[in-house]
Amino acid sequence: MEREGSPRSPPREGSSPPGEGPASDLGQALSQILHRLTGPESRRGRARNAALQDLGALLEATECDRLFAGSDTPLGGAPGTLGEVTAALEKHAAPRKEEEGGGDGCSAVAEKAAAVGLLFTKLLRRVESAKESPGCLAGKRGLRHLAGPIYVFAITHSLQQPWTRPGSRDVAREVLTLLLRVTECGSVAGFLRGEHEGEKGRFPEIMGLLQPDLNKESWKNNPATKHVFSWTLQQVTRPWLNQHLERILPPSLLISDDYQIENKVLGVHCLHHIVLNVPAADLLQYNRAQVLYHALFNHLYTPEHHLIQAVLLCLLDLFPVLEKGLHWKGGAARPTTHCDEVLQLILTHMEPEHRILLRRTYARNLPAFVKRLGILTVRHLKRLERVILGYLEVYDGPEEEARLKILETLKLLMQYTWPRVSCRLVVLLKALLKLICDVARDSSLTPEPVKGALLEEATDCLLLLDRCSQGQVKGLLAKIPQSCEDSKVVECVRKVQLVSEGAPYSGT
């Protein structure tokens, strides 16, 4: 009887040593290793380690032409069984749900990954040798059973994750490099979509392997699956991605709909990639774009700045798709758009918001919404005015990102809605002058370049305000140089007066 843990024990009692018997013996040896990796005894560490050792010995002892012989048969022969063993090894090295957060369990996963990675390296080198031999067709055919699971393994363990360690990452990256070389692909993107015209690529195969772990009941059992899916998805771009839309959209929506912020952000990044790389016609078909919009819009109620940032960027790229069929024919008022709806909600959240990271996130994206709506921003003018005035009053830390973006928003707003600006002259002028005085007298840790940028942006706003009010700002500022003792404030006012009189100003 075979002794458990023997590194080179024969696969079955009475059978020939690995690599020396007939082809059927090779299949039997691989089948027994597969059983030991997937059967009840696979839970015992010694039995599992013995199976890995036996597989390593089998790969070393078997000639290349015999290892991949029979790959053209309906069941794939020994290479088909070897593919099943490869898939079992990938599952063996994958992290489990309880090992997502780190700790001793993750160290064990990294050790298993390093051991499996060495076996995959050995196997790929055998494929490489088979391809270099005169009858290399067997090696190429055998590779089709191996490439998918090996790719999933390599991506699972090469990314920076809690279950990886420097050693396991190095082994996984070596496996990926060798896989690309054996498959004659110059990059991961070429491996997935096909390097040459008419070549199918392996993206459908990889999605097929990930699909069982990407449904509602199972997608959290393996914490690596979502990362492998996301990373793989983002390697495939136009014009290859749209043909796989039915496979990639449901998992992306599923991940984005989770209660964990990390998963929400990951799912939104996947959706954003889809929006950028799938033609608008395909997104509009079957109401997909509306489904995307409602999924993203609901995330705007979650007060988490990373998520809000990802959602707003995705929505800004989705708006052209949603509004593709909208054409204003004149006569009646223009219909409100999805961009109007989102901006209204953003402004509602911005007014009372006191958390600095969320304030910066909202302010960072506000100029893009004003640009998107253009003159139609006038619909939101009152609320925008309240937000701008409120945000200009609050110090935003050394970077002053929020106030700089709000000044950029104000400039765009005056450019697009200038006929409505003159009636707000006094309110806006007071806010800008107060900001200039506060920055000029600021003795905090704000760097001088940041203060200079704030003063320059505020001066630009004063110039635009002067033009929108037919020169009234110049008259209202006339007495400030005689009464103000702050040189920075006086310098800003004089710039406005000089430019109003026709002198050039490089800041505008």
Q: Which residue has the higher pLDDT, 138 or 434?
A: 434
Flag the least confident range among 32-36, 55-59, 220-224, 327-331: 327-331
Listed residue (460, 396, 413) closest to 432, CA to CA: 460
3-state helix, strand, coil in the chain (%, to 5): 70, 0, 30
User: Mean pLDDT, the chain, as a whole number?
Assistant: 85
- What's residue 44's pLDDT? 61
The span from the CA of 145 to the CA of 82, in Å, is 8
Q: Mean pLDDT: which of 5-9, 139-143, 328-332, 483-487 is highest? A: 483-487
Contact criterion met (CB below 8 Å) for 275 and 291 = no
CA dihedral in degrees (467, 500, 427, 337; nearest 10)?
30
Question: Which amino acid makes up residue 229?
Answer: F
pLDDT over threshold 70, residue 1: no
Contact criterion met (CB below 8 Å) for 152 and 228 = yes
The 10s digit of each residue's pLDDT in 266-298 is 999 999 999 999 999 999 999 999 999 999 999
pLDDT over threshold 50, residue 22: no
CA within 13 Å, CB half, 348 = 9
Flag the least confident range among 315-319, 382-386, 484-488: 484-488
pLDDT over threshold 50, residue 20: no
- What's residue 329's pLDDT? 58
Contact criterion met (CB below 8 Å) for 299 and 307 = yes
- What is the C-alpha R_g of the chain? 32
Question: Which amino acid makes up residue 200?
Answer: K
Query: Which residues neighbour 134 within 8 Å (Cβ) at sequence distance 6 or greater?
Result: none
- What's residue 102's pLDDT? 56
Average pLDDT on 422-436 reads: 93
- What's residue 473's pLDDT? 86
pLDDT confidence band for 32 (50 / 70 / 90): confident
The 10s digit of each residue's pLDDT in 331-365 is 567 788 999 999 999 999 999 999 999 999 999 99
Average pLDDT on 170-191 reads: 94
**Which H, E and C letters describe 191-202, residue by residue?**
HHHCCCCCCCCC
The span from the CA of 149 to the CA of 89, in Å, is 8
pLDDT over threshold 60, residue 19: no
Contact criterion met (CB below 8 Å) for 410 and 385 = no
Flag the least confident range among 60-69, 185-194, 472-481: 60-69
The 10 Å Cβ neighbour count of residue 8 is 14
Predicted TM-score of the model (pTM): 0.88
pLDDT over threshold 60, residue 236: yes
Domain ranges of the chain: 63-214, 375-508
The span from the CA of 127 to the CA of 354, in Å, is 60
- What's residue 502's pLDDT? 55
Flag the least confident range among 68-77, 86-95, 340-349, 352-361: 68-77
Flag the least confident range among 106-120, 136-150, 185-199, 445-459: 136-150
Q: Is 14 exposed, middle or buried (0-12, 13-18, 19+ CB in 10 A)?
A: exposed
Listed residue (417, 402, 334, 328) closest to 366, CA to CA: 402
Q: How far is CA 47 from CA 43, 54, 219, in A?
A: 8, 10, 28
pLDDT over threshold 90, residue 402: yes
The 10s digit of each residue's pLDDT in 184-204 is 899 999 999 988 777 788 999
Q: Which residue has the higher pLDDT, 241 or 5?
A: 241
Average pLDDT on 364-382 reads: 95
- What's residue 485's pLDDT? 74
Average pLDDT on 168-176 reads: 95
- What's residue 434's pLDDT? 93
Does the N-terminal peptide bond of residue 239 adopt cis geometry, omega within 30 degrees of 0?
yes
Q: Which residue has the higher pLDDT, 342 or 502?
A: 342
The span from the CA of 484 to the CA of 292, in Å, is 55
